[in-house]
Structure 1
Amino acid sequence: MSDAAARIPRIAIAGLGIEASTFSPARTEAPAFHPMRGAEILDRYRAFLGAGTPLHDAAEWHPALVGKSLPGGTATAQAFAALSDEIIERLAAMPPLDGLWYDIHGAMTVEGLDDAEAVLLARIRDTVGPDVLISTTMDLHGNVSRELAHLSDLITCYRMAPHEDAEETKERGVRNLVDRLVSGAGRPLKAWVPVPVLLPGEKTSTRIDPAKSVYAQVADAAAAPGVLDAAIWVGYAWADEPRNRAVTVVTGDDRQAITAQAERLARAFWEAGPHFDFVAPVGTLAETLDAALASAQRPFFISDSGDNPTAGGAGDVTWTLARLLEDPRVTAGDRTVIYASIPGPAAVETAIAAGIGATVTVSVGAAVDGVHEGPVTLTGVVDAIKQGDRDAEIEVVIRVGGLSVIVTRLRKPYHHEHDFTDLGLAPRDADVVLVKIGYLEPELYDMAAEWMMALTPGGVDQDLVRLGHHRIRRPMVPFDSPEFEPDLSARIIAPSDEPLTGPDE
């Protein structure tokens, strides 16, 4: 950074993010990433990079391309190539850079590739040159291979699940990068510890112990003398790749300090292993529905967890909806039950043509994932039509007796109260609300008087052993008995301008 003394640092922004299940038959194409370019990227991060913010004024920003998709199926090779190529082209056209912020999720699977984020970062590194400092920010459900940690000079992730600290984490990663460049401190060391545990987020929510207590130690580790940042990745449970597992990384300039803190966090996570449990009471769909209908608590939320579109499910598994339509307690009309949601593009068009108040017979779901149940037929009244949603594009409500089914043109997660009220639904007054989700997002969690998770089938089945992983590193909990002693010693990863040596284990 020889010429940087007379100017503020020049920093690029790039990244692709998706949480992609290899157990879903769905495939993700390039448009699903909603790629942003140039100034619209700064607008995406306006909370801390908007005009007039300290970080905005601390550097000269060069946004390239950032694409973030809803979780889903494996990204196609063509989609990854097209988006990656554009990132590289845009970076190659930029003036010499001092830094780059790499904003990713960390659980992107791509046809024919392992460790796609590291593959892309290697291309980025080749393009921008060896002297550029790179800061990587991630979801704690991402995966950190040794290669990804090596290619990143700074690396961090969320400390909360649900991810209420997402913006805070991104800001921290950017601030660390700017501070490092301005100070001229150079590249730090990283202590990386893989932990042979692979669990779903629904068993590792930081709302409850043991994850709450384990993650409470991260801030203390990051504040230790000689440490710059600290992080624990749970990993992504619904992809079958060698990199998928928990990992701790501590970054700093004091080798002894980062080693001690990375090993302490890894040991805490490993020892908590036998105590990780679901964040809510669980049961079969029948058991959760029985409990909901018997309860006096309203609204009673049920998570249709196996097809959660925000964990990588296809979102169109009809298994749960078929069971609801068979249950006279749901369809009789003396209960108010909301189901969110099921894709059915043709059904949406039929509802629009018929209009609000009309009775329609339509087929929905199972266009992508029909492994567990085929398409389901609904005969009901069109209660609402809404157009223009970013994800769903068009939503309709078809009421079958007491059951209001939200049918979408494209899959959509339902995380906010307005997602329902915008359709004329009143979730707070409903008897039961079933949502394709795992742990409830904050607004739903606050709304629910009572809550259970239904262990339903789909591409993000909570029964990991049942899914059939074949390529993860073994032994691994819960696929193997926890009665083995893992190697939780820290692997020191030298700065990215030095060769990476040793196996990724």
Structure 2
Amino acid sequence: MPRPVIAIAGLACETSTFTPSRTDAPAFHPQRGPDAVSIYRFLDAGTPLAEAADWRGGLIGRALPGGRITRAAYEELAVEMVALLKDIVAEGIDGLWFDIHGAMVVEGLDDAEADLLRRVRAVIGPSVIVSASMDLHGNVSRDLVHMLDLVTCYRMAPHEDELDTKERACRNLVDVLTSGGRGRPLKAWIPLPILLPGEQTSTRDEPAKSIYAAVPVVESLPGVLDAAVWVGYAWADEPRNRAAVVVTGWDEEAVAAGAERLARLFWAARSEFHFVAPTGTLDECLDVAFKAPPPQKPFFVSDSGDNPTAGGSGDVTWGLTELLKRREILSQNAGTVIYASIPGPEAVRTAVAAGVGATVTVTAGAAVDNLHAGPITLMGDVFSVKHGDKHARIEVVLRVLGSVYVILTELRKPYHYERDFTDLGLHPRQADVVLVKIGYLEPQLYDMAADWMLALTPGGVDQDLKRLGHKRIRRPMFPFDTDFNEKPANLSARLIPLSTEPLTGPDE
């Protein structure tokens, strides 16, 4: 029996609609053909999946989370993706792996992933089996589920199982294509009127820990192939933004019952979700951080409202401005403080030209998002310079007010790994306080933090959802609404047939 031919395609960008920044086509770093296959280690030559199918790369693009994708950028990438898939289809195709995030927002479009899949389906046809892998912070609309055969998502936040999830999506696809006679799986979909930030739904903590622990239990039931729970994406304002459950398999009763079991768990726990760390205003967090004794150092503070890996623009200066006003900083009694980071291309160029050891005065930040504070002017010594970063391109560390080390970047960059700091000559484990634009701490930062607080700061991914001003999400929606007596949540499973046409009627 010949191996099935499987194409790979997808675009991913977690997109905030509450930041003025925009995302263009080069930000997706598109990979094509063989390059779009080689980026996945589980498809390396000799691996079981590589041997099980003939994998053909279409177009894969993944952008750093940010603001809306420009319509021109989306059209450019979507048109090329369709053209590449046409060439693969001409030679014969059995399946498609659709590698997406699920929270991509395009100017002038609602539900961008469904629009993209509709274009793809127009090329590959209704007979090709499509399996999608998604972030659990993505959104799963009825339109998207209708056009998919299989769909799964991460089961961990932070996303330590990202590659495992993608591999599972491919393995499920191969299993269906080679199962012989079982036919297309059934899909049970349940949308949930809950919209919470990821920092309240980390699988490190309850109740998300128990909810996601139930996912493989449902998946193990006879007649079930896969089970998935989405938290949804809280920082975009579209009707599809909400939590969801999808279970796939061949036994209708088991698939529906499994989906309803997970939905009931999630709904029953809605009031139990809490932030993953102690929270407060930035000043409240810094009060604790600066007073913390040595065993609690380094003390990490999340400047969460402008987190670039949740969709923030990355150039909000409010947090740094407030930090530098602190009396501990002005009196130079704060110890070693690291701040990551502020984009400022002109500031970086000035510092590079001056060289390490030079004293410079530069202005950075608020070129994109000046809704909360204007550009910040810094005078300090150039501590280090690094060229060639994938995201930042050039990084500069400026030492200001004695022992405050501010990272400036040509382009915005997330700081998630210890090497992000040590490559710049900084040693966060030996610092007193580290402020980083992030929500929940990624694993390496979490492990090195002796203590930690989440500052509820302003920005395009503000953790205080109610002050963002959502207008288009479906209501009622928890926690925006808490009284569901008049309109109880519908936790019944909807069995979704395959359809490649736009659907009519309410998306419920």
Greater CA drift, 319-328 or 215-224: 319-328
CA contact 1:143–1:243 (8 Å) conserved in 2:
yes
Letter in 1 for 2:412: R
CA contact 2:121–2:500 (8 Å) conserved in 1:
no
Partner of 1:447: 448
1:282 aligns with 2:279: yes
- Residue by residue over 1:233-266, the C-alpha shift from the partner in whole angstroms, topping out at 9 and shown as x without a partner, is 0000000000000000000111111111111101
Letter in 1 for 2:100: I
CA contact 2:476–2:484 (8 Å) conserved in 1:
no
Letter in 2 for 1:195: L
Q: Aligned ranges for residues 92-241 of structure 1 at < 5 Å?
A: 92-94=86-88, 95-184=91-180, 185-241=182-238
User: TM-score if structure 2 supplies the norm length?
Assistant: 0.97
Greater CA drift, 207-216 or 37-46: 37-46
CA contact 1:20–1:239 (8 Å) conserved in 2:
yes
Partner of 1:298: 297
Partner of 1:80: 74
1:493 aligns with 2:488: no
SS class of match (1:212)? helix
Q: Aligned ranges for residues 328-477 of structure 1 at < 5 Å?
A: 328-334=327-333, 335-400=335-400, 401-477=402-478
Q: In 1, Cα distance between the equivalents of 2:183 and 2:63?
A: 33
Q: In 1, Cα distance between the equivalents of 2:29 and 2:373?
A: 30
Shift of 1:369: 0.2
Shift of 1:502: 5.0
CA contact 1:221–1:227 (8 Å) conserved in 2:
yes
Partner of 2:317: 318
Partner of 2:239: 242
Q: In 2, Cα distance between the equivalents of 1:250 and 1:216?
A: 15
Shift of 1:146: 0.5
- Alignment CA distance shift 1:333-1:486 (3 Å): same
Letter in 2 for 1:199: L
Q: In 2, Cα distance between the equivalents of 1:501 and 1:259?
A: 23
Q: In 2, Cα distance between the equivalents of 1:331 and 1:183?
A: 68
Q: In 2, Cα distance between the equivalents of 1:358 and 1:456?
A: 32
SS class of match (1:159)? coil
SS class of match (2:481)? coil
Letter in 2 for 1:433: V
- Alignment CA distance shift 1:326-1:500 (3 Å): closer
Q: In 2, Cα distance between the equivalents of 1:125 and 1:242?
A: 23
- Alignment CA distance shift 1:497-1:480 (3 Å): closer
Q: In 2, Cα distance between the equivalents of 1:128 and 1:215?
A: 34
- Pick from 253, 257, 269: which aligns with 1:256? 253
Letter in 1 for 2:62: K
- Alignment CA distance shift 1:498-1:387 (3 Å): closer
CA contact 2:279–2:456 (8 Å) conserved in 1:
yes
Q: In 2, Cα distance between the equivalents of 1:118 and 1:476?
A: 22
Q: In 2, Cα distance between the equivalents of 1:237 and 1:85?
A: 29
Shift of 1:183: 1.4
Q: Which runs of 5 or more structure 2 residues have no equivalent in the other structure? A: none
Q: In 1, Cα distance between the equivalents of 2:484 and 2:142?
A: 25
RMSD: 1.1
Partner of 2:65: 71
List structure 1 segments (4+ residues) > 4 angstroms apart after TM superposition.
Answer: 496-502
Q: In 2, Cα distance between the equivalents of 1:252 and 1:499?
A: 24
Q: In 1, Cα distance between the equivalents of 2:114 and 2:131?
A: 13
